[in-house]
Structure 1
Amino acid sequence: MKRTLMRPGGLPESASTPVVTPIMPSVVYASETPDRLDDQYEGRTEGYTYAREGHPNADVLARRIDAMEAAPQPGLVLGSGMAAVTAVLLGLCKAGDHVVGGDQLYGRSLRMMRDDLPRLGIDTTLADPTDVTAVAAALQPNTRLVLIEVVSNPTLRIADIDGIAELCREKGVLLVVDNTFTTPRAVQPFALGADVVLHSVTKLLAGHSDVTLGWVAARDASLSKAIYDFAVTTGLTPSPFDCWLAERGLMSFDLRFDRAEATAARLADHLAAQPMVKRVLYPTRPDHPDRARAQGVLQGRGCNMVSFELDGGRDAANAFTKGADQIAFAPTLGDVGTTLSHPASSSHRALTPEGREKLGMTEGFFRVSVGLEDPDALIAAFDAGLAAVAATK
């Protein structure tokens, strides 16, 4: 009987190629000789060595998102959206630097700004990204970068990205944009002056609540290398299977985004007409506080997120979620199904009640990530929740 080694290596040859990207879970890759391995590490040839440093499924996904964002340099897929935020902030900053962040960033980004960066010797300041004068006032001589979201989470305010980008250019400060909410379907931040763009791929891009991934790309190759080196050193590696699932999700991204956006606009208008609703925030509505800027930045798009505030505080919030029991009450966004989030008890719970109130996040405030349901059925589900609120009065 012919005996073979445990790992003989090599794949069967084929004159054809697979239509679907194969899943490549291998952690390690064999090289022919030490000289060939040197060639890979020193950039004379392309190849993989160890999955923490890169693997095929991550690169396939990165290339797809790179094209969507028109990224000037190849992007990097990481293990989560917060891994992307971390790789940028800690890969590009050092002790003694200063960072300015939008005052309505995602809750964990805010926590990093408030607790983690100062602990590492990096000073931080939060400023209103809708007001370029506030951002300018927050800058210091040692400011390294400004981190904003185009549309804030969860109050859907529109950053003055044109003004902030011009300010950053004048001051020699990097502009980092989290484009998770808006996605490249609505905004391409590199075209607006961003130096670094990042995503939580977990959300709208993958779109099915079954992967946890992030993506980041930079305008300058030296920035890309600094982010990559930190991510590889600290092991912010994405799963090949998650990358494969996210690539599959991207195939339907445009269709999903457009359908959810159309339903979101209709839901926003419906909620605004209900007596139990104090206010509704949606970028294309005439009563949105930043509507003029939204028209320019988003080019008339509204995206899939709607926020609204109930009259009645926490009691009304509890009644609503019980009554709207067909809608998943879950702190996420971008799924094929609509999800309902209550920032005061989830994403922004670390803020004080006074801090949330100042930003407009009361106990009756909800954020909705609109999915792909039939619009009439979705509105009926919201009406059931509102009816439950009314029954408590």
Structure 2
Amino acid sequence: MKNEKASLVRPDALPASASRPVVTPLSPSVVYASDTPDMLDAQYEGKLHGYTYSREGHPNADVVGRRLDRMEHAPHPGVVTASGMAAVSAVLLGLMRSGDHVIGGNQLYGRSLRMMNEDLPRLGIATTLVNPGDVTAVRAAIRPETRMILVEVVSNPTLAVADIAGLAALAREAGVLLVVDNTFTTPRAFKPFEQGADIVIHSLTKLLAGHSDVMLGWVAAADAALNDRLRVFAVTSGMTPSPFDCWLAERGMLSFDLRFDRAQATAARLADHLAGLKGVRRVLYPARADHPDHARAAELLDGQFCNMVSFELDGGRTAANAFTRGAEGLSFAPTLGDVGTTISHPASSSHRGMTADAREALGMSEGFFRISVGLEDPVTLCDVFTTAVAAAMDA
């Protein structure tokens, strides 16, 4: 019997097709083959578009990145990263150096606060935390070595609204970078680049992807050189996003506008409902006239007040435990942006690293909760909260 010639392991390219898939294919390949060394050089030199090694970019990341670039009106293609904190890290670690000084909002996401308070000082980068709604206080914190101001448009978790216009003017005057985390507000409510931001950050994990099954981030800079530095640092430090997560995120982003509008409308109803319940000490929702920053929010967000509601119960940890047990069918989980409503307790999750006194100073007592409103029927959701608050009062 004649011996057959052994075949190569990967001899074939994808079959040619006159049509194309409607759904973006998942591309898990780590490496991409080129025809010649000259062609590879042309790709690295930017003369040809192509992929080489997935840490340096892959098709699924580009699809998601282009979508968010358009949503944010980004001047240059952003960098998709493995998480929202990877995007924050790309900015703080990729652009700052020992001897620099960074000003941060005093109610940043818990891990951003930890990086500001512990990790940056360890690397010789000084930090100061200031109320981002008080431009005078931010101005007073600026030093000759200040390089950056990092804020969230709407803070986590007390929903304080930053004075973005004032901060943008101050940053230009002082010659420092204004970095805006737009995760809570999303491009549906606010576009930081159009308001003077130099760098914009997102946790795609949250409302943009929207299903609690993706972990991704995104960051882009208005300046081309800074944008390149962010990309190089993300590639060098291995902040590569998973192709599968990018593929799932694209699916979630297709329904983002619809989900945002539904959740926002329900959030407004829930905030008013909570304000009328016995045992609820206060409700924080920027659309309400009693919110401390309502006027600024109305001007800044153009009527898009988002899906986040915070409130404070009478009573301490005992009432908090009874509330979460009584909120039947809702997830008590340290996340936001899911299709289902989630409840977060900052004292035991996002801000547990702070002392009790520091949390109290910012308005986060043991009875304080943050709600990420989902897509439930509004009447049903209000009924669940009525029952849970009553359970807390009986504890």
> Which structure 2 residues correspond to residues 297-376 of structure 1 after superposition, within 5 A?
297-376=300-379
Partner of 2:8: 5
Equivalents in 1 of 2:105, 2:328: separation in Å?
33
Structure 1, gaps ≥5 residues long: none
Question: Alignment partner for residue 77 of structure 2, among 74, 77, 83?
Answer: 74
Matched with 1:35 is 38
- Cα offsets for 1:18-39 (capped at 9, x unmatched): 1110000000011111111111
Is 1:57 the counterpart of 2:60? The answer is yes
Which residue among 372, 376, 388 is the counterpart of 1:385?
388
1:251 aligned residue: 254
Q: CA deviation at 1:4?
A: 2.2
Q: Pick one of 256, 260, 266 that aligns with 2:263.
A: 260
SS at match of 1:77: strand
1:86 aligned to which of 89, 93, 100: 89
- Decide whether the 8 Å contact of 2:189 with 2:304 is kept in 1: yes
Structure 1 residue matching 2:66: 3-state secondary structure: helix
1:130-185 CA distance string (max 9 Å, x none): 11111111111111111000000000000000000000011110000000000000
Q: Which moved more, 1:112-121 or 1:40-49?
A: 40-49
Give distance in 2, aligned partners of 1:171 and 1:391.
Answer: 54
- How far apart are the structure 2 equivalents of 1:45 and 1:96? 39
Residue-by-residue CA offset, 1:282-318 (whole Å, 9 max, x unaligned): 0010100001100011112210000000000111111
What is the letter of the counterpart of residue 169 of structure 2? E
TM-score, length-normalised on structure 1? 0.99
**Paired position in structure 2 for 1:278:** 281
CA distance in 1, matches of 2:330, 2:39: 55
Residues 72-221 of structure 1: pairs in structure 2 closer than 5 A: 72-221=75-224
Q: CA deviation at 1:369?
A: 0.1
Aligned residue type for 1:112? M
Alignment counterpart, residue 236 of structure 1, candidates 228, 235, 239: 239
The DSSP-based 3-state class of the residue aligned with 2:86 is helix
Matches within 5 A, 1:220-231: 220-231=223-234
User: Structure 2 counterpart of 1:137, which letter?
Assistant: A
What is the alpha-carbon distance in structure 2 between the residues aligned to residue 68 and residue 360 of structure 1?
33
**Aligned pair count?**
392
3-state SS of 2:244 partner:
helix
Report deviation, 1:383. Answer: 1.0
Answer whether contact 2:188 2:304 (CA < 8 A) is retained. Answer: no
CA RMSD of superposed structures (Å)? 0.8
- Displacement after TM superposition at 1:325 (Å): 2.4
In structure 1, the residue corresponding to 2:160 is in which secondary structure?
Answer: coil
Q: Per the alignment, do residues 227 and 9 of structure 1 end up closer, same or farther by CA in structure 2, a change over 3 Å counting? A: farther
Return the letter of the residue paired with 2:245: D
How many Å separate the matches in 2 of 1:9 and 1:200? Answer: 38
Aligned equivalents of 1:387 and 1:295: distance in 2?
32
What one-letter code is carried by the residue in structure 1 that aligns with 2:297?
A
Instruction: Identify unmatched segments of 5+ residues in structure 2.
Output: none
Matching of residue 21 in structure 1 with residue 21 in structure 2: no
Runs of 4+ in 1 over 6 A off after TM superposition: none
The DSSP-based 3-state class of the residue aligned with 1:280 is: strand
In structure 2, distance between residues paired with 1:267 and 1:32: 59
Q: Which shifted more, 254-263 or 319-328?
A: 319-328
Q: Secondary structure at the match of 1:337?
A: coil
Q: Distance in 2 between matches of 1:343 and 1:158?
A: 18
Distance 2:268 2:9 in 1: 58
Classify the secondary structure of the residue corresponding to 1:190: helix
Report Cα offsets for 1:307-359 as digits up to 9, x if no partner: 00000011111110111122100000000000000000000000000110011
Name the SS of the counterpart of 2:33 in structure 1: coil
Q: Aligned partners of 1:286 and 1:309: how far apart in 2?
A: 17
Offset of residue 9 of structure 1 = 4.1
Is the partner of 1:278 in helix, strand or coil? Answer: strand
CA positional deviation for 1:2: 5.5
Deviation at 1:8, TM superposition (A): 1.5
Deviation at 1:84, TM superposition (A): 0.3
Alignment correspondent of 1:48: 51
